[in-house]
Amino acid sequence: MNPSRLEAFSDGVIAVIITIMVLEIKMPHGADILALQPLVPAFFGYVLSFVIIGIYWNNHHHLLHAAKHIDGRIMWANLHLLFWLSLLPFLTGWLGEYPAAPWPTMLYGVGLLLCAISYTLLQTSIVALHGKDSDLAKALGGDLKGKLSIILYATAIILAFSLPWISYVLYVAVALMWFIPDRRIENQG
């Protein structure tokens, strides 16, 4: 199968995820600027999740463009990624509603960790189909950023009950690490 069909489907799902996420931000209860103050945590949670989803969308695009063809394993790995991404609106909404609470902070991290793991599985599936000597496999190399992301998310999950603000710092750190464009795949082309 041509990867463009899978990419188009994924683009549609990601667009819906982002749309649902913004709908979780409630209207302020008042007409003055102070009415926005209770919405600040929800807004920052939305911005962080929007950036994270945007990073996945961007890297997913490059990953599928590097794939010459796909198979059923890749399709299921892609659905696995989309499943975890689709939970981010719920997790972001809960985190925005209770920003200082350990459970929403921890489960947000679990969601991010599972997104990272599922993206790694998608990469692994594509490399398995194209071979360990393919240009894509060479471009991905040891995937230090991917492995570091998983470690930082796991650390943030552990710290959510004792130091939730450090969990937030780690979530932002991973986003910043990936916000700097990953040119490994692009440079192989």
CA dihedral over 43, 44, 48, 54, signed as positive or negative = positive
What's at 155, amino acid-wise? T
d(C-alpha 182, C-alpha 104), whole Å: 29
Only one residue has tokens 């659905």, namely: 79
Residue range 51-76, pLDDT digits in tens: 999 999 999 998 998 898 999 999 99
Assess contact for 183 and 60: CB atoms under 8 A: no
Question: If phi over 0 gives left and psi between -120 and 50 gives alpha, with beta otherwise, what is residue 131?
Answer: left
| Contact by Cβ (8 Å): 88, 18 | no
Give the pLDDT score at 134.
87
Q: Flag residues of the chain having pLDDT under 70.
A: 181-189
Per-residue DSSP letter, 38:
G
* Amino acid found at 125: S
How many whole angstroms separate alpha carbon 74 and alpha carbon 63? 12
Both structure tokens of 138 = 């060479």
Say if residues 59 and 178 touch (Cβ distance below 8 Å).
yes
> How high is the pLDDT of residue 186?
65
Predicted pLDDT at 89? 96
pLDDT for residue 16: 96
Amino acid identity at 105: T
Q: Please tell me what DSSP assigns to residue 94.
A: H
Query: What pLDDT is recorded for position 143?
Result: 86
Contacts (Cβ under 8 Å, ≥6 apart) of 64:
3, 4, 6, 7, 10, 70
- What predicted TM-score, i.e. pTM, was given to this entire model? 0.92
CA distance 68 to 48: 32
